[in-house]
């Protein structure tokens, strides 16, 4: 359920911690503190919940209770490629859930999770406002309309190609 | 002392208590689930303790209504029972009805309520609960089974009232809400007795003692 911070992130968290120690430390500042941490880290790792609990002298469970109530707080790191599958009415009717399932199978993660290598994170969103293109997928804020299982494959192939290209460019540059 | 009439019986009650408590103290049963005696601020979330009070346009929840002099309360009218049945059916539709395998079988308050209100345990008009299989065993003294939990909040609210700080809290939102045990900060001991009081408060088999 909760993701543990990497070594790098722990250092980042330490930096945020010293900043928070100077600010408001009452129960009422719980949400602003969580927002500050998420802004800094991109998500709330398990260690962050313990940190906030320590700051405000409440139980980490209580912090989780509040944080898990709000959609804006996430407990898994955003991937390098954030995939958002639209499941609004139009996309739902035109098989958005099939597209979501395609991504789930391809990445071997459930909706709302992040791949082990933090390359991809998968989310469902309510409506991205271009129903005429249903079913829609957002990949890092780029919109892909009229999605189909074959197009899902196509997206990954494109990423593979782009990756290979940048790698070969790197090796060319170093020579 | 305040004099009021519940189902045409003359009742004497202490000032400031709720209609629900006055009725229960006089052995008049009003269905209830989320209310616990000595509660300071009842959540009124189960919507089972409706009563009709003369002069009020619609049924009210007995747990949040304070007794008044010459109040005329009716606990057994058609409107009240209809509301109670609907509430109970909704609660049951959010509960994994599997009494044969449940430790609370025969001492379950949902069963008692269903018997009292003559409601089937698997009401036909609402979809039946799809079990999630989620069982939280992180607590040293008790286990929490999400599929049996109807989120009445007794363990959350009553423990906060009794111990001054909650031992459980709600986490998540909507249909994904769960109850999560709260652990004291590192170095402080977990109060075993208080935790077990919460287990005894659970109306269903959601919180069970370990072992």
pLDDT tens digits along B117-176: 999 999 989 988 889 899 999 888 999 999 999 999 999 988 888 777 788 999 999 888
Q: Which residues of A touch B (CB under 8 A)?
A: 53-54, 57, 59-62, 64-65, 68-70
Mean of the per-residue pLDDT values for chain B?
91
Instruction: Take residue B80 and report the two structure tokens written for it.
Output: 């009240």
Instruction: Give the contacts of A51 (CB within 8 A, at least 6 positions apart).
Output: A13, A17, A37
Which residue in the set B173, B180, B185 is minimally distant from A64, CB to CB?
B180
The answer to whether the Cβ–Cβ distance between B185 and A65 falls below 8 Å is no
Q: In DSSP terms, which residues pair with B2 in a beta bridge?
A: B13
Cβ distance B48 to B32 under 8 Å? yes
Can you give the pLDDT at residue B203? 95
The answer to whether the Cβ–Cβ distance between A61 and B172 falls below 8 Å is no
Cβ distance B154 to B201 under 8 Å? yes
- Report residue A58's pLDDT band, with 50, 70 and 90 as the boundaries: confident
Q: In DSSP terms, which residues pair with B60 in a beta bridge?
A: B51
Q: In DSSP terms, which residues pair with A82 in a beta bridge?
A: A121
Can you give the pLDDT at residue A87? 95
3-state secondary structure chain A: CCCCCCHHHHHHHHHHHHHHHHCCCCHHHHHHHHHHHHHHHCCCCHHHHHHHHHHHCCCHHHHHHHHCCCCCCCCCCCCCEEEEEECCHHHHHCCHHHHHHHHHHHHCCCCCCECCCCCEEEEEECCCCCHHHCCCEEECCEEECCCCHHHHHHHHHHHHHHHHHHHHHHHHHHC
Radius of gyration of chain B (CA): 18
Can you give the pLDDT at residue B159? 81
Radius of gyration of chain A (CA): 19
In the numeric block, the tokens 């990445």 are attached to A107
Planar angle of CA B119, B26, B111, nearest 5 degrees: 20
Can you give the pLDDT at residue B85? 96
Can you give the pLDDT at residue B36? 92
Is B19's pLDDT higher than 90?
yes
Contact list, A54 vs chain B (CB under 8 Å): 185
Cβ distance B58 to B94 under 8 Å? no
A-B CB pairs within 8 A amount to: 32
Instruction: Take residue B21 and report the two structure tokens written for it.
Output: 């408590």
- What is the distance between the alpha carbons of residues B118 and B110, in angstroms, rounded to a whole number? 12
Is A175's pLDDT higher than 60?
no
Is A174's pLDDT higher than 60?
no
Cβ distance B135 to B187 under 8 Å? no
């Amino acid at each position: 359920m909760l993701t543990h911070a990497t070594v790098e992130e722990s250092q980042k968290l330490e930096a945020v911690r010293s900043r928070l120690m100077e600010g408001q430390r009452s129960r009422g500042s719980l949400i602003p503190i969580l927002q500050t941490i998420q802004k800094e880290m991109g998500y709330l790792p398990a260690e962050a919940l313990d940190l906030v609990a320590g700051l405000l002298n409440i139980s980490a469970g209580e912090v989780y209770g509040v944080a898990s109530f709000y959609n804006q707080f996430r407990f898994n790191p955003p991937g390098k490629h954030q995939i958002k599958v639209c499941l609004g009415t139009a996309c739902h009717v035109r098989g958005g859930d099939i597209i979501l399932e395609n991504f789930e199978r391809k990445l071997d993660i459930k909706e709302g999770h992040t791949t082990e290598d933090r390359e991809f994170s998968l989310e469902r969103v309510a409506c991205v406002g271009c129903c005429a293109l249903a079913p829609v997928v957002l990949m890092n804020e780029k919109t892909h309309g009229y999605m189909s299982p074959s197009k899902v494959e196509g997206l990954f192939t494109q990423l593979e190609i782009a990756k290979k290209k940048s790698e070969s460019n790197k090796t060319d540059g170093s020579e | 002392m305040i004099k009021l009439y519940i189902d045409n019986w003359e009742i004497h009650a202490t000032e400031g208590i709720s209609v629900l408590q006055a009725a229960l103290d006089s052995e008049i049963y009003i269905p209830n689930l989320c209310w616990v005696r000595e509660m300071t601020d009842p959540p009124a979330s189960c919507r089972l303790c409706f009563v009709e009070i003369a002069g009020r346009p619609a049924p009210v929840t007995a747990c949040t209504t304070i007794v008044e002099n010459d109040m005329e309360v009716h606990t057994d009218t058609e409107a009240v029972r209809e509301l109670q049945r609907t509430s109970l059916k909704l609660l049951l539709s959010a509960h994994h009805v599997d009494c044969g395998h449940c430790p609370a079988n025969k001492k379950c308050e949902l069963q008692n309520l269903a018997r009292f209100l003559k409601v089937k345990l698997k009401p036909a008009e609402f979809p039946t609960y799809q079990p999630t299989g989620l069982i939280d065993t992180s607590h040293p003294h008790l286990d929490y089974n999400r599929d049996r939990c109807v989120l009445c909040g007794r363990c959350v609210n009553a423990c906060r009232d009794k111990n001054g700080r909650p031992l459980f809290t709600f986490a998540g939102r909507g249909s994904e809400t769960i109850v999560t045990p709260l652990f004291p900060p590192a170095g402080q001991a977990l109060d075993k007795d208080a935790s077990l009081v919460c287990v005894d408060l659970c109306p269903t088999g959601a919180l069970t003692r370990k072992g």
